[in-house]
Chains A and B, each alone.
Chain A
């Protein structure tokens, strides 16, 4: 019998993701890949996989799955409420701690807690198809594993192989919330009035419900444009903050359209991206200006922290 998960409830937005795909922006294909890279690599490290292996990413409500097969361990990372339903008992799960499951056990990923994305990794490999070297699912163009679609109720996820080494691991890690999103001025910063610039860096913005893997919309005081509300369409990268014609910011996330025509007021620094994507609708945030060299140093620090966490698990 093949080892597999039966999906009883797929969850809100559950997809396979890995490190994403490079060098395809020019044909209109974005990077994609796991939104919160640190929680993604930690999930793989905890179960003894390669750090760039595929995992299941979920948003808000996660999947409820029933396991069929030989004993396997799994982990959930992020800030997630979940339980493991065994034949005789139920266990409330802790993130960053691996658990063994056996034939017939269920994992119920109830929801993320004051955050958006969580990761589910197994000590082994899912049976997936890759496109351009990545399994990452892009639901807009139906690229990647699972025919480019979200996971659906009552489908099956086959497991290709189970790691021989199933060592139980645990990590003490707490996701801190991002109070201020640090931003480098964008290429159209001067399209905005002095008052508009001031508002951007001083006032509070609220994350809108209209946010997904493509982009995050924010609501707040109007940021006045004094030049032109459209620019000639040009390339985008993740983290770019565009101000739309209605004066509100929209931040490009991992599945963003590769080209866009709204002025760019700023770009979120790489070191803050993981925490940015975890801001849930209704939460408040502020932007803070930062210089390029400081942003580069903060990224080095971020990398050192991530590597320290990974080395604790070796």
Chain B
């Protein structure tokens, strides 16, 4: 449940679900997010769930912090319906051309390339949140042996489709954007499709993701 509610500026509520990041805490965040979204609370204009926080921004013309805090504190929260979650398999090509940071990771983790990929592909990942740029999923958790820090100097441009690792998380760059994650491969899949009005994101919070290795040729031909 929410441990603490405070204000973030004059037009947002900052709901803290506790310091730990794990599936339970995050499922709670998502549960609140889905409930609040369904209830269409007057004045709410955006909900941003993350690992262990939920930010609710509102229109200061219609409601204020004290009023909305009271509403959120007194909400009936129904259980999160798990049928909304799906399983998705993401094809990735790990050819040298795409795996920009594999050498760096071999050094950082003291593991060889084969072991890194073996660990990475033999796992199911949970989507904690999406965002930063449209559609980018934040997936976890990587094995303890696989956890590396961000690049010291982030790239100005990370290619679209890049799959990156940082700490206990993996992500997919849905668009070319700046970024500092360790890139190990690339997917030809469209992670964000703005023509799908109802849900443009391929992966949503609560979904389960697995990765499948494909060849450079399959990557090239994927969208043909």
Contacts and interface: CB of A to CB of B under 8 A. Distances in A.
Chain A partners chain B: yes
A259 interface: yes
Contact of A270 (B10, B21, B129, B199): B10
B10 A28 contact: no
A26 B7 contact: no
B8 A232 contact: no
Interface residues of B, number: 48
A138 B134 CA distance: 10
A131 B65 contact: no
B133 A31 contact: no
Contact-residue size bin, chain A (C-beta under 8 Å from the other chain):
35 or more
Interface in B15-39: 21, 33, 37
A258 B21 contact: no
Nearest to B7: A292
Of the listed residues B129, B134, B177, B204, the one surrounded by the most CB atoms of chain A closer than 10 A to its CB is: B134
A268 interface: yes
Contacts of A257: 131-133
A26 B52 CA distance: 14
Interface in A90-114: none
A28 B7 contact: no
A259 B33 CA distance: 15
B134 A25 contact: no
B39 to A, nearest CB: 13
Given A23-B45, A296-B64, A258 B10 contact: no
B182 interface: no
A295 B133 contact: no
A259 B177 CA distance: 14
A233 B138 contact: yes
B201 A27 contact: yes
A28 B51 contact: no
A234 B61 CA distance: 25
A240 interface: yes
B6 A235 contact: no
A303 B49 CA distance: 30
A194 interface: no
A154 interface: no
B188 interface: no
A267 B136 contact: no
Contacts of B65: 292, 296
Contacts of B52: 232, 234
Interface string B118-140: 00000000000111111110100
Contact of A267 (B8, B45, B51): B8
Contact of A258 (B9, B64, B132): B132
Nearest to B20: A232
Contacts of B12: 237, 267
B50 interface: yes
A187 interface: yes
Contacts of A31: 45-46
A247 interface: no
Interface stretch (A4-12, A38-46, A139-147, A164-172): A139-147
Contact of B61 (A23, A27, A141, A303): A303
B23 to A, nearest CB: 15
Contacts of B55: 25, 234-237
